[in-house]
Structure 1
Amino acid sequence: MPATQHQVDQLRAELAAAVAATSDAYRQSSRLIRVLTVLGQPSSPAELVDETLSVLSQLYAADVTAMARASGGQLRLTSACGIPEGDPAYVEGWPLAGGAAEALSLGRVVARNGDALEEADLPPSMAGLAAASAVWVPVGEAGAGAELLVMYRISPGGFPGVDLPVLASVAARLGLAVADRRRGAAVESLATFGHRLTSRLDLPSLFEEAARLLPPLVDADAAGVVRVEGDHAYLKAATTTEGMPEADRPIQVSDLPGWHAVRAGEMFAGHLDHPRHGGSLLAIPIMRDDALVLVVYAHRGEHRPFRRDAVDSAAIFATYVGAAMSNAELYLALRSSENSLRLITDSISDLIAVVDCTGRFVYASPSHGRALGIAPERLLRREVTGLVHPDDRAIVAAALAGPPDAATVEYRLRTGDESWVWVESALRPVPEDGTLVLSSRVIDERRRLEDELRRRATHDPLTELANRALTAERLEAALSRGDDDGVGLLFCDLDKFKEVNDRLGHEAGDDLLIQVADRLRACVRPADLLARFGGDEFVILLDGIAGLDEVTEIGKRVVRALEAPFWLHGEWVDISVSVGGVLGARGVAQSSNLLRDADAAMYAAKNAGRGRVEVFDEDASKHSLGRLELRSDLSQALARNELTIHYQPIVELDGGQVVGFEALCRWTHPRRGPIPPDEFIPLAEETGAIVGIGEWVLGEACRRLVEWQRLRGNEHLRISVNLSPVQLAQPDAAARTLDVITAAGAVPSDVWLEITEHSSIRQDVTGFVTALRAAGVHFALDDFGMAYSNLSHLKRLPVEILKIDKSFVAGLPAKDTDRGIVRAVLAIADSLGLTVVAEGIESADQRAELLALNCRQGQGYLFSRPITPEAATALLRAGTLILA
């Protein structure tokens, strides 16, 4: 059976919606692709921020793009594109106020345009910039030391609302990427610094080296090393003399900053209140046999707290300093005499041993008994490697047999109770007799901290899943292997996650993410990698995939795994997930391209209806470019006078008399010609342009109504105008709509506003309708019957007209089902005292059937197509009735 016109129209509408969704996904994903490409580059945190700011300036046509840090009620630039480095905003800063303060306070994006911009929104040195719009985006956690992404435009036109979520996502990703770089840099620096410290064999140079190395590790301005001896302390090294006591001059230990903490072996991190040398202070104690021997200080001149990862790095650094100090002291003792050596090694906590050329113990200090639970005499003549963990024996043997110079090695030793402890040994050759001196220290706690730092660098702290850095590493490794199969990637983004956070709170949101991670673990194979990239985005790396069908099937398994409701804070919560997949060939595909394409496919799935799986389609991606161009042109269509309004008469079915007109917007593109409404209206709704277009249509239609009502016999003519759900969701929508009507000079009671049945179900429009109904405006429920199973909203909406959807009218008089639906709608309307208007009447038989069913008003091609304002005026002047 050939398709009906309604089916064709419906298919066209579905196609248009799908293409529009693809267009929007492409635009948003193309920007994210550019940023993701930058974030995926191997660069330092500073280089990463600079490159990201440059790309954002290009993508969003911003004249200034900057990163600013909040500290002590001030904002200071840390990096910028469009502001010279010598600008005072870098050093002096400016008060934290205006949009920046609002963004940090609310923890969300804040945008201001035109007159909304305040003097406090710009640094004083940029007052002459004449900025027309600005946006502030929080980066990372709120609070002291929080950072902001700031963008300014000089040219007219603000930052569109649709771009703000993307900027928030970019800022979140940038914050995660910078944090990952910092953690990775800290691990690398610690490894290098440990070797540099142990190479210092005299205490003065060791302390100076420690003071030099600490500031770049923890992002401090200065550092110092203080040695504690009884009730007095002595400054041994510092990177600056300003505000510091004289070197080696006695200081009362109680006067040391953070003394209440460091004397107990605890680190101190806090503010230092001093009229000239205030700021943030980090104090790290170094203990020996439960006694404080050293305090290492790091200082910042501004009240910006040290990050948690910096504090952890400082703790590891302190263990290096302590070990190097013991090592240097030991070296000094070794240079004196064997008797002195024995006296010293018997009293210190480090494990001191002498090993002969065969790798056997010839001396072991008493501290071995305390640390390992093995009497020193039992170690004599035993091979060192016999106590070493099997996995570590190769590196220890290599160090013992290595070249005759200093070496440091970390490994595990067996204890007396058959457990294992981590030790770090510094090996020093004694050329005179061919022996080696091993100075070792138990580093279980340091290894635990280092392992925790590495875990933080590669895993998400909330779900314990892999993070972006580990995923990128594993993806590169998988693509580099020469296997015949492929590598798949799934991007999974939770639908309606923000609603859960907003309604139940962030604690419930975190609980949901943990439960989702648990379910996803059951979906992956042993060889796969499950990761969380931040927010509600999860990624699955599929190693060893035969084809796209397998990627799609695993994606569907993920969707099914999240279909069952989640128990959150005493109630069941339903969510869904949008999944995008891609397949790459080993040795050919690039990791950055796979990440980009999977992300784009995920956004396509989300825009296609949520709870779906989409795989990357190159042809669809290219096709969406045309939609992007049309979307861009639509934003200028109203200003270029490309939009017009046609009017379709609404008539009395029994006589054909015109009782009103429905205003219908039309777009004539300068190159493509007329664009169908079902193609450009969804685009306008997606971009938000429908708000301006809708208000323009309402105002023009009301002005025409006033003009037509002056014609004899048309005093009671009414105008009917459609409202988009996007318009209904605007702040002060009712007041703005009434202002447009009254500004045009129309009487509110002659205006009929049409809202769709679907929009009245999806969102609460009761307040909007009630407010305007009180002012006299009438309301019609458009396309009635398309959501026929949801009639309860008629009880709460003060509508007066039901418009029967043309799909039901098209089936008259032949289809009994359509006749039954129309009869039921008319019965409902009659019981509620409502008027019914039938849409899409195209034949005399349909008109006759509607009259027989007691429907009195209608519109359609049987009476008239939508006509120009001039044709409508001529029709009314002639006093003509439209007769079927």
Structure 2
Amino acid sequence: MPGRNVGADAHQEDGRPAAPRPGPGDPCDRCGARADREAERLAAALRASESRFRAAFSDAGIGMALIDRDDLVIEGNPVFAAMLGRAVAELPGMHIHQIIDPEEPSRRRYRELVRGERDRMRAEKRLKHRGGREVWGRVTVSLVRDHAGEPYYTMVLVEDITERRQLGDRLAYQALHDPLTRLPNRTLFYQRLEAAFRLDEPGGGGRIGLCYVDLDGFAAINESLGHHVGDQLLVAVAARLEHGFAREGRQLVARLGGDEFALLVTGSGGHQELTRLAGRLMDALERPFEVAGHRLTVTASIGVVERPVLGSTPTDLIRDADSTLYWSKSDGRARWTLYDRDRGADQLTRHRLATGLRPAVERGEFTVEYQPLVGLADGAVRGAEALVRWNHPRYGLLSPDRFIPLAEESGAIVPLGKWVLEESCRRTREWLAEFPDRPVFVSVNLAPRQIWDSDVVADVADVLERTGLPAPLLQLEITESALLGPAGRPLEALQALADMGVRIAIDDFGTGYSNLAYLSRLPVHSLKLDATFIEAFRESAPDADGRRRAADEQIVGAMVQLAHALGLTVTAEGIENAAQAERLRQTGCDTAQGWYYARPGGPETIAAILRDQPPR
């Protein structure tokens, strides 16, 4: 029956109810439909996501590429292909090393990323453009893992930073190169110099050399032809030096400023190599330059230093090169000079003395000794020359020739000279107080720089007022060279001093240019003959020098007559014996000084002589 049949259909053979078959309106049927729809939606979403990724990948403004675990390109976008000068279709299958150089430490970090030991890395890399064009990128590499967390592939993002990198390179170049000559500048020179000292390990035996070059007479070219010609000459010099002497990694040619250049040699082969280079430098520079329609010839002074790196410093090298260049200049220019340790030690001593002069004046390390000026007619003391000495705490008692030139160079002669002047006037005033019937004058040397760098007239007036010394008892000695040249301040100062009553003497007369015209127009009172003329009056002079001796005697006699005709007195220096003194007396010389009469000594030396001398 239908009803039974239905009932029978509802049971299995074992009598248990059978599972109901879903009908069109059954809930399970609706669940399956939802699952299908969700799957379709997810698939569509996945397709949409992939489509968006594809669009973003293709249209991105930066380079993008997928790389598999074998370092082969899976796919790259158009921007990435353009960075390499290639078509997109060429990228799949290319090895990463065909695109980017595998230098360390980037290579090590990339291998760590591929192994899954890191998830991301960044670096600035130069890309291998097919046409050789310089392309720089900021590269970001990210690891993509599979569903199990294992490395699957890598994604590379590349931002083109070529313009920024080139701008940075240009700025770095400008910071390290001279804008006029394009040579490495002082900054780059010192960087290479310091690097050379850092790279040398103790015991390595590395050597370093330096040729310090200064053009002779360059200032005259600037002044006579103009700075534009001078600049073009510097450019031509730089080009010749760079072409002939720059060697990548070993020899650096640099412009240190002005007309100074340097050739730095790392891994030097010794002194002979450096001196040969210096000789070649001079030869190269002495060949004429054709500049702005002018044929110019220049010479150079070169200081050469070569030594082991071990035991030295960049500061030592530069200091000694500078000293050696100074020696080349002072020895006559147009030459090279190799550093000499003994001469360098003397230079160091000079430097210590020069820098210690002003403090020494303040510390009272100087003393004044006096040597009598004796009348040849009667043997009476007429005056005394003041001679300064330096009681140096390290070098002992120093004579004027050791430090006066340094004092003149440094300007310390101004405070030192003022102190000597005051000390000498004070002592002379004491002699006058003790021996009023035997007045003597004091003769004090006046350096040219004291006239130019100080108000010497005001200084003398102030000292005379404070010490109470009458002006006629002060004599100021000045050399011929200080009087030569255009009229002006020296002449005005000397005239003002003479108007005060101060005596003016010309020291070392006859050793300079002896322009006799100034004797008639300057307020000169006395001439002091240099000791070289007095040698002719020695009895011990060899007969072979008889003609020269006779000539010198005639010269001295003529100078004495000339001086007397102009109303001047004459003093002879360096008298060693009685015969000399007598022969000079016969020529008409007025006064003399020398060891025959007394060696320089303290103020008591003059006082002792005056006590034994009868009143005038």
Contact kept, 8 Å, 1:552 with 1:614, in 2: the verdict is: yes
Q: Matched residue of 1:337: which SS?
A: helix
Give the Cα–Cα distance (whole angstroms) in 2 for the partners of residues 609 and 384 of structure 1. 61
* Contact 1:649/1:866 (8 A) holds in 2: no
Per the alignment, residue 778 of structure 1 pairs with 503
Q: Is 2:458 the partner of 1:735? A: yes
| Structure of larger gyration radius | 2
Change (3 A) 1:858 1:709: same
Mapped partners of 2:392, 2:65: distance in 1: 87
**1:792/1:341 Cα in 2 relative to 1: closer, same or farther (>3 Å)?**
farther
Q: CA distance change for structure 1 residues 762 and 675 in 2, over 3 Å: closer, same or farther? A: farther
Q: Distance in 1 between matches of 2:211 and 2:342?
A: 17
Asked if the contact 2:113/2:143 (under 8 Å) is kept, the reply is no
* 2:167 is equivalent to residue 449 of structure 1: yes
Q: CA offsets per residue over residues 288-332 of structure 1, 9 Å max, x none? A: xxxxxxxxxxxxxxxxxxxxxxxxxxxxxxxxxxxxxxxxxxxxx
Matched, 1:645 2:369: yes
**1:858 maps to what in 2?**
592
Checking the alignment, whether the CA contact within 8 Å between 2:58 and 2:78 is kept in structure 1 is yes
Per the normalisation by structure 1, the TM-score is 0.49
Within the candidate set 62, 65, 79, 1:353 is matched to 65
Between the aligned partners of 1:483 and 1:670, the Cα distance in structure 2 is 41
2:209 is the counterpart of 1:488:
yes
1:476 matched to 2:207: no
Counterpart CA distance in 2 for 1:367 and 1:670 is 78
User: What does 1:43-62 correspond to in 2, within 5 Å?
Assistant: none
The 2-side partners of 1:473 and 1:859 are apart by 61
Q: 3-state SS of the aligned residue for 2:537?
A: coil
Where do residues 394-793 of structure 1 align in structure 2 (5 Å cutoff)? Answer: 403-404=113-114, 405-409=119-123, 410-414=125-129, 419-432=133-146, 434-452=152-170, 454-455=172-173, 464-465=183-184, 466-477=188-199, 479-480=200-201, 486-490=207-211, 521=242, 524=245, 526=247, 527-531=250-254, 539-552=262-275, 554=277, 579=303, 581-584=305-308, 589=310, 593-602=312-321, 604-605=323-324, 610-611=329-330, 613=337, 615=339, 617=341, 621=345, 635=359, 643-651=367-375, 653-666=376-389, 675-679=398-402, 681=404, 690-706=413-429, 714=438, 717-760=440-483, 765-788=490-513
- Cα offset for 1:753? 0.5
Q: Deviations over 1:24-45 (max 9, x none)?
A: xxxxxxxxxxxxxxxxxxxxxx
| Aligned mates of 1:371, 1:728 — CA distance in 2 | 74
Alignment equivalent of 1:842, drawn from 557, 568, 576: 576
Normalised TM-score (structure 2): 0.67
Does structure 1 conserve the Cα–Cα contact (< 8 Å) formed by 2:373 and 2:591?
A: no
Per-residue deviation at 1:691?
4.0
Residue 584 of structure 1 and its aligned partner are, at CA, apart by 0.1
How far is the alpha carbon of 1:499 from its aligned partner? 12
Check whether the contact 2:138–2:161 (CA below 8 A) recurs between aligned residues. yes
Report SS of the residue matched to 1:746. Answer: coil
| C-alpha separation in 2, matches of 1:515 and 1:842 | 60
Residues 694, 688 of structure 1: alpha-carbon distance in 2 compared, 3 angstrom cutoff: same
Distance 2:198 2:605 in 1: 67
Offset at 1:579? 2.8
What is the Cα deviation at residue 869 of structure 1? 3.8
Query: Higher mean Cα deviation, 803-812 or 702-711?
Result: 702-711
Q: 1:872 aligns with which of 597, 606, 612?
A: 606
Q: Is the 8 A contact 1:598 1:616 kept in 2?
A: no
- What fraction of aligned residue pairs are identical, expressed as a percent? 32
Following the alignment from structure 2 to structure 1, what is the Cα–Cα distance between the partners of residues 381 and 320? 50
C-alpha spacing 1:820/1:440, structure 2 compared with 1 (3 Å) = farther
Structure 2 distance, partners of 1:474, 1:668, is: 43
Q: How does 1:57-206 map to 2 (within 5 A)?
A: none
- Quick check: 1:580–1:616 contact (8 Å CA) kept in 2? no
- Confirm or deny: 8 A CA contact 1:702 1:744 kept in the other structure: yes
For structure 1, list consecutive stretches of 5 or more residues without a partner in the other structure: 1-333
Flag the 1:762–1:563 CA change in 2: closer, same or farther, 3 A: farther
3-state SS of 2:314 partner? helix
- Are the aligned partners of 1:578 and 1:611 in contact in 2 as well (CA < 8 Å)? no
Check whether the contact 2:366–2:388 (CA below 8 A) recurs between aligned residues: no
> Displacement, 1:528?
1.7
- Give the drift of 1:805: 1.0
Give per-residue Cα distances to partners, 1:203-238, cap 9 Å, x unaligned: xxxxxxxxxxxxxxxxxxxxxxxxxxxxxxxxxxxx
Give the C-alpha shift of residue 687 in structure 1.
7.1
Q: What do residues 362-391 of structure 1 show as CA deviations (whole Å, max 9, x unaligned)?
A: 5443435765665434x35462558648xx
